[in-house]
Every structure is written in structure tokens, then in C-alpha cells.
Amino acid sequence: MTDAYSRLPWHRAAVTGGAGFIGSHLCERLLDSGVEVDCVDNLLSGSRANVAHLERHPGFRFIECDVSAPECPETLAGPYDLVLHFACCASPADYLRLPLETLDAGSLGTRALLAVAERDRARFLLASTSEVYGDPLVHPQREDYWGNVNPVGPRSVYDESKRFAEALVTAHVRTREADAGIVRLFNTYGPRMRAHDGRAVPTFVCQALAGAPLTVAGDGSQTRSLCYVDDTVDGVLAVAASRSVRPVNIGGTDEVTVADIARRVLSLTGSSSPIEFVGRPTDDPQRRRPDTRLARELLGWEPKVPWEEGIKQTIAYFAAARPAREHLQQA
């Protein structure tokens, strides 16, 4: 934990999507800081295993429910002073498989959780995404850029779910004086990502460790700006602790090509796997890098973990998890 966020101003938080990749790290950080946590997840894309080490903590409670279901808010008794809404299918493999559930999480789920926060007079924070910028025509992407999004393309269920959720949060701020903010996350990676969720880092790492070809979409020249999960959690909690109601970008500033990520993974794993170029998904963004000036000036936040160091930590996680997966497959 970083010193800047070792003392947090909340007593009890609800983290939706809390058994997911980023959500589980948020639960862990909050508990370590003395905040009680209700981890809320329907386990469509999250895993109870991600929070198994937290279940013995006296301040932790796991609640299995779908935030878009009418009965779910009734199970969130609170009272809370922080509601972090991270429930949504975030990987292409998931939101293409579960399009309606993805749309519901951003619409019905966001509205229900805003009501929970209003009930308890809690700070609300929406986890939005760099996908609201679509395939951007402005680079780097600033928070005041409206984006270039295909509203009916295959990625639209995720993009538009988050764009609608942002509009809903903004309407609550304007008409109901909600204490609510928005954080736009860029390409977070690290331990507890799923091996086959379709995103570049876990895909390349698992392929390299297995000796399989690394499948790079297109010619690999498209760029991403990776942000290690510890830095993302710092940024999320900094936005939550602020009074900002404006969207804030949180992401890495080192822009690298997808092909460079694959080559670096090969180097760091010592793998002899070849790189195999495959078809590029529809509406896949060509360039992706956040302008993080607002986060620096407003919050004093900037990423600290170099992306190569973060890749090493991620490789170590998947290398350790691999024997357990293989044992389960053989059993």
C-alpha cells in the first residue's frame, strides 16, 4: 500500500464487482486501511477465489447478487459512506457473450446503486472506461473529448453501457446534488486477471508460458497505455476521496504497441514462442493513451510502477497459478 492512501476517510464501503480483477484489489486495499467492505458480485465474470483470502477478515462480507436485479439493493443494508460501482463485464470475451447483462449493469445497476448511495448519503464512484472515447480522433485523450464510438458495433454494448452510466451519474449530480464521481480507467493489468479473458497482457503471458504462439491482432501497431493494478487502485481511491464530480482519467502514460508488449513478454518469460498475427477485431482502437494532467493537478496522482516491472509481477502470478490450473484440468 502506498503511504498517500494508507489512511482512508470511510468506515464502510460497498464494492460492486468486488470479486473481479480490479474490484478484488479494491476490497483488499480498503480492508487493509481499516474500512469494512461489502463485496457484491453475481460471479458472471468474477471469481470467489479472488477474495477467498479476505473472507476470514472480520470487516469483510460477500454478497452474491446481480446489481441490476430489483431485489439486489434490498440486500445492501449498509449504511455505507462509500459505494464503488465496478460491476460490469469488462473483457471483450465477456461482453460479447453477455451483451444484455453488460448493458443492464451500466443502466439498471448504476441507477440502483445511485439510490443506495443517496439513501446513505454516501460518496458514489462509477468505474468508467477509456472505451467511452471509442477509436479516438484526438490523442492523447482528454476528459473533455467526446469520443468516436460506433453505437451499433460489436463493442457498443460495453461502450454505450458506460457512456449511459456516465450520463446517469451526471444527471444525479445536477438534479439531486449527488456526491458522485466518475473514473475512466485505461488498460489496467496485473495479478488476478483471468487467463483467457481476451485482453492482451494475460493472453500473451499465458501463451508464452505454455509455449504457444502469441496471437497479435492485426499488424500489432495499435498502441495501449498499460497501468499496473496497484497504481489504478491508488487513482480510484484518490478520486473517491476527492469531491470531484468530473470524469477523471486514470491510466499509464507509457504508450507502447501491442507488438512491443508481446515481444517484451517473450523476453521476460524466456519463451521461444513465435508471434502469430491474426485478424483484428472490429472497431479495435488504433491509439490509446490518456491525458492524465487532471489527475496530477487535482489529486497529485501519477503511475509509479514501470510497465515492464508490472509485467514481471503479472508473469510471476500466472506462472504460480499455472500448476494449479493444470492439476484441476487433469483431475
Residues labelled catalytic: 158
**Grid cell for residue 311:** 509485467
Residue 213 and residue 279 in contact, taking contact as beta carbons nearer than 8 Å: no
Q: Is 147 helix (H, G, I), strand (E, B) or coil?
A: coil
Half-sphere exposure of 165 (CA within 13 A, CB side): 37
DSSP letter for 148, please.
B
Using omega within 30 degrees of 0 as the cis cutoff, is the peptide bond preceding 140 cis? yes
Parallel, antiparallel or unpaired: strands 188-189 and 36-41: unpaired
Determine which helix (DSSP H) or strand (DSSP E) holds 269, and give its type and residue range.
helix 258-269
Contact present, 192 and 25 (Cβ < 8 Å): yes
The conformation of residue 69, written as its DSSP 8-state character, comes to S
Tally of CA atoms within 13 A in the half-sphere of 146 that contains its CB: 1
One-letter amino acid for residue 150 of the chain = N
Identity of the amino acid at 217: A
- Report how far Cα 237 is from the mean position of its chain's Cα atoms: 13
Q: Which three cell numbers stand for residue 113?
A: 446503486
